[in-house]
Amino acid sequence: MNCIILDNQLNTDDFLRLFAAAGWGDLPRTMAETALQNSYATFSVLYENKIIGMARLLGDGAMAFFLKDFVIEPSFQGRGAGRRLLAHIEEYIRSQLQPGWTGYLQLVSAKGKEAFYCKAGYALHPHEHSGAGMSKWIAKE
């Protein structure tokens, strides 16, 4: 698939559209805008003048990075765009590191998508060196 990966150009409309396309529901626009503004980096997958994929990267720019909201529009999955996006993000992280540094990229896979990440060299948790990945939703009433 001949697509282009764009750094830090993900707009709110594309974010909201792809977030919903992934089956994650609808977000308030202001929440999405705040999330995008506070991301370490954002990535968009452009194919024939349409954004078909996205991801957000959170992190400290040195030791810890977290991959969030990684989505390829369902009708484009299985055609290589996700692999390209993931490889691009890894290279982006390398570009942020000083010589001799090693950053740690973590993520939580969408249910049923674990094999995609395993094929790219990611370890399932728990494994021999780490405990299970953990998460908790915190809401404000």
For position 137, what pLDDT does the model report?
82
Per the structure block, which two tokens stand in for 49? 């003048």
For position 17, what pLDDT does the model report?
98
> Quick one: pLDDT band at residue 33, thresholds 50, 70, 90?
very high
Task: Please say whether the beta carbons of 55 and 89 come within 8 A.
Answer: yes
Integer Cα distance of 121 and 24 in angstroms: 25
Q: CA quadruple 82, 71, 32, 111: dihedral positive or negative?
A: negative
Q: Taking the model in full, what pTM does it have?
A: 0.93
How many domains, in total, are found in the chain? 1
| CATH code of residue 99 | 3.40.630.30
Q: Counting every residue, how long is the chain?
A: 141
Q: Is residue 133 assigned to a domain?
A: no
Q: Is residue 23 assigned to a domain?
A: yes
Percent of the chain with pLDDT over 90: 84
